[in-house]
Amino acid sequence: MRYYFTILPFAIFSATNGASLAGKPGNKAKVCTVEASGTNLTDDAPAIRSAFSRCNHGGNVVFNASTYYVNSVLNITGLENIKIDIQGKLLWSTDIQYWLNHSLPVGYQNQSTAFVLSGNNVRINGHGTGNLDGNGDYWYQWIKKQPNTSNYPGRPHQITFNGLTNSVIKGLSFFRSQMWTMSIINSHNSILEDILVNNTGNVVSSSNTDGANTMFSSNITMKNWTVYNGDDSIAIKANSTNISILDSKFYNGLGIAIGSIGQYFGRFETIQHLRVENIQYVNTLHAFYMKTWTADQNGYPPNGGGGGIGFAEDLYLKNLTVLGLRGAAFAISQCTRFSGAPGVGNCTNSQFQIRDVGIDGMEGTSTSSRVASLQCSAEKPCTDITLENVDLKLSNGSAADSYLCGNVVDAKGWDCTGKVCEGGSATGEC
């Protein structure tokens, strides 16, 4: 087996002093402090947009230790060589109808966002106190009453980094996101570290409150994340390459996800070179799971689709600690079909192949006896699946020792103990 925990290097080009920020030796960087209105009756978004416009290309945008009321969409693009200090809170309004009608397109799965930020050499520092709050309690109660409680049209992500390159984001917290917390799309060579996500509702919980999702991005490092939520802790989606998730803790969600993928009929997509190390899970459904759509198109994204092609390969995890897992530690389901009625679609015909996947070192406790539940495609079987140094215990102290599989070729370090169930799933198991 390859040595698979050499993190791929990449450069972060950041200015280190005021002179370089300003672009001319001896010039001090321009500072644009955003003044908070102090009332939710006044939209602070225009002042925010103005500050970014005035301090782009070498300046410093400062949010004081105040609450900023964001009542309209933020589309901050074309940033270059800019520093952003967030010491206070950005609080999104509760006008659900406004956001449903004005949220900005993400460009994937027909989803949208409340905040787009893009640019090169962007350095955001929350100093451990900066916070983005989506006021999600209102959304979570509202969505419970809708016929579509997941990907409701116009329900926005809290923030989308679209076209972010050579950048660093650190020391920020994100509370009660409206839907996904963060979508990272068309972004490259960037680090996101010391990040807290807490999407725990004060009244009800909500689905689709992912911590982060990557798409069409490469060389992204997520380090020292803490995520409390009810869905994917972090999800790696289409055409994500060289993604690292390090030294993080995940609570109550579904664990680290690959996909869903294969949702667009005939479209070729890949996920390659994932490195995950030193992760703690508490009360998550899985540690790691993968989900692809079937080969049968049934509806359209975000709540339907299928028939995509491609592969996921070179995905490796090391040093995982789990407490109270609720399902299989490692799960694969190649039978995602959200809008299909039960029984519609073939659970073994996916044209998207999963190969070269490994977990080395996982210990802790589980309420499930299933170490692995791998429901792979008969058309494109899973190959080269490695599980080593696994020590999972049930509450009575006995070992979790069930390895269920279907259409797995060339297993390493483990033997299949039984047939896996075949059925539609969006969360990794039947």
Query: Tens digits of per-residue pLDDT, 242-256?
Result: 999 999 999 999 999
Measured CA to CA, the distance from residue 22 to residue 26 in angstroms comes to 9
Closest CA to 195 of 228, 164, 165, 217: 228
pLDDT band of residue 3 (cuts 50, 70, 90) is: very low
Closest CA to 296 of 257, 250, 269, 334: 334
Measured CA to CA, the distance from residue 70 to residue 87 in angstroms comes to 16
Closest CA to 234 of 186, 183, 273: 183
| Long-range contacts of 40-45, Cβ-Cβ distance < 8 Å, separation of 24 or more | 40/69, 40/71, 40/91, 40/93, 42/69, 43/69, 43/70, 43/71, 43/72, 43/93, 44/68, 44/69, 44/70, 44/71, 45/70, 45/71, 45/72, 45/73, 45/74
More confident residue, 19 or 209: 209
DSSP code, position 156: E
**Tokens 């299989």, located at residue:** 328
- Give catalytic residue positions: 231
pLDDT band of residue 149 (cuts 50, 70, 90) is: confident
Lowest-confidence pick of 39-48, 142-151, 276-285, 359-368: 142-151
The H or E element spanning position 143 is: helix 136-143
Measured CA to CA, the distance from residue 425 to residue 430 in angstroms comes to 6
pTM (two decimals) = 0.93
- Please answer whether residues 297 and 351 qualify as being in contact, where contact means their C-beta atoms are separated by less than 8 angstroms: no
The domains of the chain, with CATH numbers, are: 28-419 (2.160.20.10)
pLDDT band of residue 44 (cuts 50, 70, 90) is: very high
Q: How many Cβ atoms sit within 10 Å of the Cβ of residue 239?
A: 19
The H or E element spanning position 397 is: none
- 317-366 pLDDT per residue, tens: 999 999 999 999 999 999 987 654 344 568 899 999 999 999 999 999 99
pLDDT value for 346: 84
pLDDT value for 345: 60
Query: Which residues make beta-bridge pairs with 166?
Result: none
The H-assigned helical ranges of 23-62 are 45-55
Reduced to 3 states, what is the DSSP secondary structure of residue 160? strand
pLDDT of 150 > 90? The answer is no
- Please answer whether residues 233 and 245 qualify as being in contact, where contact means their C-beta atoms are separated by less than 8 angstroms: no
- 253-288 pLDDT per residue, tens: 999 999 999 999 999 999 999 999 999 999 999 999
- 391-428 pLDDT per residue, tens: 999 999 999 999 999 999 999 999 999 999 998 888 99
Q: Which residues contact 154 (CB under 8 A, 6 or more apart)?
A: 99, 100, 101, 103, 112
pLDDT band of residue 173 (cuts 50, 70, 90) is: very high
Closest CA to 362 of 335, 397, 399: 399
- Please answer whether residues 328 and 255 qualify as being in contact, where contact means their C-beta atoms are separated by less than 8 angstroms: no
The per-residue pLDDT of the chain, averaged, comes to 92
The amino acid at residue 382 is C
pLDDT value for 27: 57
